[in-house]
Structures are given as structure tokens and as C-alpha cells.
Structure 1
């Protein structure tokens, strides 16, 4: 082999390694903290919105009033003036166009009656005057796609019309969708859309009164008909979903938690096991991020009492990064703390950042309460 050929091969190998390297966030940014749990995070351009149980953001050690909703400049790490106030817990945030939809366990926004669901302006925080509904039950998850806002939880009725833990609203008019009428026999914890489907996860065993669609199912976005070819039947509760055009990633609890990867046909590609619930999942480039209240990533799927890893493990405290291709554990470590740990994750592909919320108070060994971003 000539020296020239060897150099070319070396350069080609280096280029391939660069292209194949996972595009995952490296270090925790300087960001505001919060005085209560962050349960939802959502990006819109250069802004990251957060919702939860907090009543103040903490900036340079000083509290700044924020009523369970806040916005942060994701590039600069500065708290923005955007400050609508919810009088109860915010559980889900969804950005669509110039609006952000807020769902949770509240009765009013900025003192104006809104029953568990509201629409706000992404720039001003102003409450939309005509988007108002009466919800029976608690919304736990929301997602915007296909011209609709999809809502899931323990919902039994909207505006007096019966619903089976799922509902949808027209994004243009705000009206309750009277055609999208799926039912689940137990609560829905998460909703996501992709590949022309709406995926729902939770505790349920029947969808549209059909048995055998345990804890994870796919629905037609317009008719709500079951996608019968997608029937993965995970054995434990589904807490969170992240969907790409050709893969469904799911976060599960149980005796030890897990992150799983499914094909659109419902076939299991891979599953990674932890010693505690996986409660959040997101994807950035070739990397899948997992968040939860686990402390270790198990070497095999076998777990013992209380989810203990049986066949060896690597320390991954509340956070882990996995290869999207085969689920193998990556070297990235950004340990958080706390019992509940990480409860929400979101990715911004343009900024190449990951945002997370939860009940933690430290990240990477330094104080960072309940919200963090990696870039």
C-alpha cells in the first residue's frame, strides 16, 4: 500500500467516524432553576417553555415569580418576561404555530377561568379568548399534529360530551373534534404522532373496546380507527413516547424500567433495561435520551427485587444516552439526583440541545434545580 493510499483511507475512516458519531448534547448549560417540580418542557425556535408545580424561577440565587409557567432563551440561558400564571399544576405543553397549549390540573390562567386546558400566545403569553372547554377528568398528555390537538389522561367528558380518556380539538377553530372518538379502558399517560399515525401509551388494555392492545397502540389521526398491524403489547406501563418516521421509542416502568424501540409494524427492535422507571424519552440525531428515577443501566434484561440489575450494570443516575440503531449504552454521563429524578425531556434539532425537567436539584454534581439543558 502506498503512503498516499494509506492517507486517503485514514481520512475516509476519520470522515466516516465523524458522520457516524452520535449527535448528542455534551454539557449542562447555565440555566435558571425552579422552586418546584418541572413536569413539562417544549421548544419553539430559540425558546424553551417549562411548566409544572413551581411558583418561582431562581436566577442568580434570587426568586423571580413564575406561576407554574415560564420561558427561557435556550441560547443565552436567560429567563424571559413571558409569565402567564396557572393556579394549579401544568402537566403538558404543546407548541403549534404562534400558540402554546397548556394542559393540567388548573382552574384558571391569569385569573380567568380555564378548566384544565388553555391556549396562550407564544410571544405575549396572552390567553386566547375563545379556546375554552370544560374537561371532566385530568389531562396528562397532549400533542399537536394533523390539524388537531390530541389530549389524553383520565378524561371522561369534554363540554358534556362523553370521551374515553382521549379527545381532539381543531387547531384552527379550537372546536372539539366530534369525529375523533377513540376509547381506552384506563388512563393515557402519553401521546405522540409520526408516520401518519397517532400513538398513545399508558395503563390501558383495551382500545376502542378491542382487547389485546395493552399499554401502547396506534390510531388513525382522522377516524381514530385502531391500526391493527401495530400491536407490541409491552408488559409494563408506558410513560412516554418519541416517534420518528420509522421508529417508535417508548419509556416504561415496572420492575425496573426500560426504553424500547419498535418498528411501525410493532416489532421490537431493541430494549434497554434500568433499575428504576424510565419516565421520559426523546431523540436527537442518532441518540436516544432516557430520563427517570433509575440509578443504573442493566447489562441484561434480567432484574430482581425492586428492579435491581441481576447481571451487572453501569452507573447512569436519572439520565442515559443510547444508540438509536441498537440500543447500546453510550458513554455520556450527566448524573442528576433525587428520588423522582427526570420527568420530562425535549430535543431541539436545530440548536442541538436537550432540555429536561423533573424533581432533581443537582446535575453533573453542581446545583441545578428541576430544569437543565445540554448543548
Structure 2
């Protein structure tokens, strides 16, 4: 991704080429798998939103530090809320507020002029803000008109028109009954009539892009007194239940399985859901529904709780700790915390960066957001792509992307006069599935054969390339070059006596 001229990096048996070769047939993702520079947090990130060139980040942290800084070093105080430059990932020194409780959710207004924050706090800079606050993105100032009194935790926020919808664990808003879901006006902060009346916690909330309806997810079993397990579609002004056939994607709870909706992402005519289940084999996957009809479009049954979904440039990016995906990979390949799905059918796409999982949840990515052409990910991880990076990371479409894994030595054979066959296992590339392979002969690296092949971490077939004009009766050496359209990587030489 990006420029095609490559710098040379010498290594024993491995080299990066300087070859402006023709592009590979690539199914590359819209973002590279190479993490871009970003500041870090000293504890989990739980909320994210992008507005006006800044990433607003909330969570359990009280300190932030530059990229590359070890834990506990070079720290700057930011108590549960911070902002960073969207382009560079650097701390925004001008946005500094002190909250007295965790931030669980952040959402930006459609025009980016405000960000709304929800959580456990009751004070912002000493001023009363009972679990919801708003900030002006131009000045960074606390908005005086947004100050509902919410009785307990706010865990989810969404904007629809001039309504701020929120969900969580509360029972009162402004001392009026609102069980775990409510809405206020973004114009004057007044409590709205919207009242779904959930009987248990709401973890996720989002409004359709056309604001025709609102979706709720969580651990509830009833909405407005009617049975609705873990997910519901409701009227945008009253909160009354709407028909939603796709809700059948979430299995009803049993003694061995409880699956709940953890995140919701609306995008155009589709709405996407992330599920996390308790119990072996319990539904942990993702699913999509049609906004207009409420019908199920697809259901992906990967195992390993899914916590976050974000659509970027036509792809559905997800944060989970997937350890098995039917039709793709099975248990034994470890946990894959960042994956990409085709929003049309839910199949996995060509994007395989990774994180680890840290305390306290040991889940990894917990939240994600986009500013249009990037992806910010927050959670409880301490490493990204094997490198120390705590709590926060970001990915863009800039640069050349991940380079292919260096090809192994080819196995050579010569059973026909003047012909050499080279067999090799396909390589891996974290943001391309289809790679171009070239068979290079001699110290001059003459290209004698080219092919393309698909490979993933769960499927690496072997390929055979043939030199049809090998000099008969000579000893020749051959190597394989893997090329993703931007990065060319060469393996070591194997030698053969040509028949």
C-alpha cells in the first residue's frame, strides 16, 4: 500500500528488493496492518470517538505516555479522559479535564462540534456532571447545557438527529424512572419521552443512519414488558418495540450458554452486531440485519467474544479474541484479536494485525472508532503486532503496509532436459491474501517464472514454478520472491544440477 520503490534491507538469505515490478493481484484491505504511531494509556480504554481532527479517548486510565515509552515512564496525567491528534497520534495538550470516575462511552455529534461522554463519574473539573457530560470540540470547554442527572453507570451512547440516546445500569434520570435506557435533547439537555424500559443492563446502543429506529443490545430479557433477549429495535421517539426478525440470530440463554450483544454499528442500509457468550461453544460472533426490513442478512459464528465493530472504507473491522472461525481457522492458531469481515456476507478479509490481552478483562480490544479513513482501537492490550503499546493504537491507509514473510528455500527438481521446477510453501502477508511469486535464477536474479496464489495464516498451500529454459548441464541457484504490490521480499538460494 503506497509507494512501490523499496529500500534494501540486507539479511542472511533474505532481502527487500529495489524492483519497481508490476503489481500483484491483491485483495488487500482498505487499511494497512502496520500500526501507526500513537500515545499510550496506563490502563484500559473503554470509549472512543473521532471529531474535528482529534481522537477522544476514555477509560480506566489516569496517565498517558508517548509511543515507545515503557510502562510508568514519561507520563502525563489525564484522569479517565484524553484527546489525541488524529493524524499524528500525539497528545492534545490543550484538552485536559479531571473526572472522578471511569469513562465507558464517547460519541461525537454528526457535525463534530461536540463530544458526549458517559460513565461512572459525578464530577468534571469539580462541576456536577452525573455520568454524562459534553465538550465543545473547538474550545475543549465543558458544555453548560448538557447535565442530566443519571443515577448509575452510563455504558453506551448514540446520536440520532437531535437526540442523545444512552444505555447502562441506571434506573433514574432527573429522578424520573428510566430503566437502563433514556434520551436527552442535544439542543437543551432536557429529558425526552423515549423510554424502552429494559429489565437489565444495556451494553450497546446505536441509531440507524436515517434515524428511523434505534437498536439496543445487552443482557436484558424484556423491553417494555415484552420478551426480547439481548437485542431490540425500537421507535426513535417513544422507545416502543419494533418488529425485528433478525433478533433470532442471538440464541436464548440456557444453563450452558448466555450470549449478549456488546456492540452495534449502523452503516447505511445495514446494522451490524457483536456478540459475546459465556460457556463453551456459546455464540460469540457477528451478524448483520437489513435496517428497512429487520431481516437477517448473515451470521458469522466465530468463537471468541466480539467486543467492537467499526465500518471503514467499505469493510467491517472487528475487535475480538477469536480462536476459531468455521470455514476459516480452528482452535490451535491462538487468539486473533483484530480481524476484518466482508460486510456483504461476513466472510473474513485480508487483514491480520494482532494485539495481546491484559488486565483486568483479559479480552484485548474493547472499542473502536473511525474518522473516515482510519481505525482507532482501544482496550486492555499491552502489545500491538508484538511490540509494546498499551491501551490504544491506530491504523491508516498510509505507507506500504505489511511486507510478506520471507519465502523459505525452494525445493528444486530437474527431470526434464533444460527445465527446473521449484516448489515452495506460500508466504504470509498481514494485509494481503493474494501475492505474486517470482522464481529468480542466479546471482543476477533473472525472473524466469511468475505466478499468483492465495494464502492465509490458516491455509498456506504449496506452489510450483518452472524455469523452462534452464541451461542444461550447468549448476544453477534459484530463489523465490514474494511481492504484494508494494513490498518485495526474497528468500535464500537453493542449488541444483540442471539435466
TM-score by length of 1: 0.87
Q: Which deviates the most, 50-59 or 257-266?
A: 257-266
Moved more, 227-236 or 61-70: 227-236
* 1:222-274 Cα distance to aligned partner (Å, 9 max, x none): 22222124551312200000011211111101125211112233332222233
Selected match of 1:335 from 345, 348, 354: 354
Misfit runs of 4+, over 6 Å: none
Q: In 2, distance between residues paired with 1:370 and 1:256?
A: 26
1:279 Cα deviation from its structure 2 partner: 0.8
Partner of 2:378: 357
Q: Once the two structures are superposed, what CA deviation does each residue of 1:161-189 show, in whole Å capped at 9, x if it has no partner? A: 01121110011111111x21221111110
**Residue 321 in 1 paired to residue 340 in 2?**
yes
Candidates 169, 192, 214, aligned match of 2:184: 169
Q: Which runs of 5+ in 2 are unaligned?
A: 1-21, 252-258, 397-499
Which residue does the alignment assign to 1:35? 42
Closer/same/farther in 2, CA of residues 300 and 164 from structure 1, 3 Å limit: farther
Deviations 1:329-375 (A, max 9, x none): 123111100122010011222xx100010000100111111000000
Partners in 1 of 2:299 and 2:268 — Cα distance?
19
**What is the correspondence of 1:150-299 to structure 2 with a 5 Å cutoff?**
150-177=165-192, 179-194=193-208, 195=210, 196-211=212-227, 213-233=228-248, 234-235=250-251, 236-254=259-277, 255=282, 257-264=284-291, 265-292=293-320, 294-299=321-326
Deviates more, 1:266-275 or 1:60-69: 266-275
Q: Given the superposition, is the C-alpha separation of residues 36 and 176 from structure 1 closer, same or farther in structure 2, using an over 3 Å criterion?
A: same
Instruction: Verify: 1:78 aligned to 2:90, yes or no.
Output: yes
The equivalent residue for 1:367 is 388
Is the Cα–Cα contact under 8 Å of residues 217 and 230 in structure 1 kept in the other structure?
no
**2:106 equivalent in structure 1:** 93
Indicate how the Cα distance of structure 1 residues 115 and 190 shifts in structure 2: closer, same or farther if over 3 A, else same: same
Q: How far apart in 2 are the matches of 1:326 and 1:314?
A: 23
Secondary structure in structure 2 of the residue aligned to 1:72: strand
Structure with more helix by fraction: 1
Q: Which has the higher contact order (CA 8 A, sep 6+)?
A: 2
Deviating more after overlay: 93-102 vs 161-170:
93-102
Q: What's the CA shift string for 1:303-327, capped at 9, x where partnerless?
A: xxxxxx8x66765521111111111
Deviation of residue 53 (structure 1)?
Answer: 0.9
Contact 1:146 1:221 in 2 (8 A): no
2:105, 2:371 → 1: CA distance? 17
Q: What is residue 18 of structure 2 aligned with on the other side? A: none
Write out per-residue CA displacement over residues 2-59 of structure 1, whole angstroms, 9 at most, x where no aligned residue.
xxxxxxxxxxxx99x88x8652343210110010110011011321110001111112
Q: Retained in 2: the 8 A contact 1:274–1:297?
A: yes
The unaligned stretches of length 5 or more in structure 1 are 1-13, 302-308
Change (3 A) 1:150 1:64: same
Secondary structure of residue in 2 paired with 1:237? strand
Q: Is the counterpart of residue 57 in structure 1 residue 64 in structure 2?
A: yes
Structure 2 CA distance for aligned equivalents of residues 209 and 317 of structure 1:
39
Q: Deviations over 1:65-105 (max 9, x none)?
A: 11111111111221102111111100011112422111100
Which digits, 9 at most, give the CA deviation of each residue in 1:124-158, with x for residues without a partner? 33222232222122111011112110011112111
Q: Is the 8 A contact 1:25 1:353 kept in 2?
A: no
- Structure 2 Cα separation of the partners of residues 123 and 36 of structure 1: 27
Q: Secondary structure at the match of 2:355?
A: coil
Separation in 2, partners of 1:58, 1:256: 37
Alpha-carbon RMSD: 2.2
Q: How many residues align?
A: 347
Q: Is the 8 A contact 2:185 2:191 kept in 1?
A: yes
Contact 1:28–1:372 (8 Å) recurs in 2: yes
Aligned to 1:304: none
Structure 2 counterpart of 1:24: 31
Distance 2:289 2:244 in 1: 12
**Does structure 2 conserve the Cα–Cα contact (< 8 Å) formed by 1:316 and 1:333?**
no
Query: Conserved in 1, the CA contact under 8 Å of 2:158 and 2:205?
Result: yes
